[in-house]
Amino acid sequence: MSDLAWFLVGALVKSIIAIVALLTAFAYMTLIERRVIARFQRRVGPNRAGPFGVFQPVADALKMAFKEEILPTRASRLVFLIAPAISVVVALTAFAVVPLGGPTAWGNSSIARAWAPYVADLNVGVLYIFAIASLAVYGIVLAGWSSGNHYSLLGALRSAAQMVSYEVSITLAIAGVLMFAGTLNMVGIVQAQAHQGIWFILAQPLGFLLYGIAAVAEVNRAPFDLPEAEQELVAGYLTEFSGLRWSLFQMAEYINMITASSVVVTLFFGGWTLGSLDGVFGLPFIWYFIKVAVFLFIFIWLRATLPRIRYDQLMRFGWQVLLPLSVLNALVTAAVVAYGLPWWVSGAIGLAILLIVAGAFYATARRSQPKAKRGAGQVMAAPTSVRLVADAPLPRSVDESQTTSVSASAGVK
Partner 1 sequence: MLFSQIAFYVLAVIAVASALGVVLNRNAVYSMLSLILNLLSLALFFLLLGGLFIATIQVLIYAGAVMVLFLFVVTMLTPGGQAPQGDDPLRWQWGAGIGMGAILVGALVWAGFTGAISSDAKAAGVSSLTSAIAAFGGNTEAFGMALFHGYSFPFEITGLLLVVAALGAVTLGRRPTHADE
Binders of partner 1 in range 71-90 (CB under 8 A): 74-76, 79
Q: Whose Cβ is closer to partner 1: residue 206's or residue 226's?
A: 226
Residue 277 binds to partner 1 (criterion: CB under 8 A)? no
Residue 10 binds to partner 1 (criterion: CB under 8 A)? no
Q: Residues 31, 105, 153, 336: which binds partner 1 (CB under 8 A)?
A: 153
Closest approach, Cβ 148 to partner 1, in A, equals 4
Which region, judged by CB under 8 A, interacts with partner 1, from 21-29, 128-136, 199-207, 379-387?
128-136
The secondary structure of 296-310, three-state, reads: HHHHHHHHHHCCCCC
Residue 156 binds to partner 1 (criterion: CB under 8 A)? yes
Q: Is 5 exposed, middle or buried (0-12, 13-18, 19+ CB in 10 A)?
A: exposed
Residue 148 binds to partner 1 (criterion: CB under 8 A)? yes
Instruction: Output the DSSP codes for 282-293.
Output: THHHHHHHHHHH
The residue count for binding partner 1 (CB under 8 A) is 35
**What angle separates helix 125-133 from helix 243-268, to the nearest 10 degrees?**
150
Q: Residues 100, 137, 190, 292: which binds partner 1 (CB under 8 A)?
A: 137
Residue 173 binds to partner 1 (criterion: CB under 8 A)? no
Burial letters for 363-390: b for 16+ Cβ neighbours within 10 Å, e otherwise?
A: eeeeeeeeeeeeeeeeeebeeeeeeeee
Residue 313 binds to partner 1 (criterion: CB under 8 A)? no
Binders of partner 1 in range 179-198 (CB under 8 A): 183-185
Nearest of 387, 227, 381, 383 to residue 308 by alpha carbon = 227
Angle CA(265)–CA(271)–CA(275) in degrees, nearest 5? 140
Q: Residues 130, 285, 297, 311: which binds partner 1 (CB under 8 A)?
A: 130
Closest approach, Cβ 141 to partner 1, in A, equals 6
For residues 176 and 267, the answer to whether their CB atoms sit within 8 Å is no
Q: Whose Cβ is closer to partner 1: residue 157's or residue 345's?
A: 157
For residues 144 and 155, the answer to whether their CB atoms sit within 8 Å is yes
Which region, judged by CB under 8 A, interacts with partner 1, from 49-57, 121-129, 246-254, 320-328?
121-129
Closest approach, Cβ 169 to partner 1, in A, equals 14
Give the list of residues 6+ apart from residue 287 with CB closer than 8 angstroms, or none: 272, 274
Q: Residues 132, 229, 325, 349: which binds partner 1 (CB under 8 A)?
A: 132
Phi, psi of 37 (to 5 degrees): -65, -35
Residues engaged in binding partner 1 (CB under 8 A): 4, 74-76, 79, 122-124, 127-128, 130-132, 134-135, 137-138, 141-142, 144-146, 148, 150, 153, 156-157, 160-161, 163-164, 167, 183-185
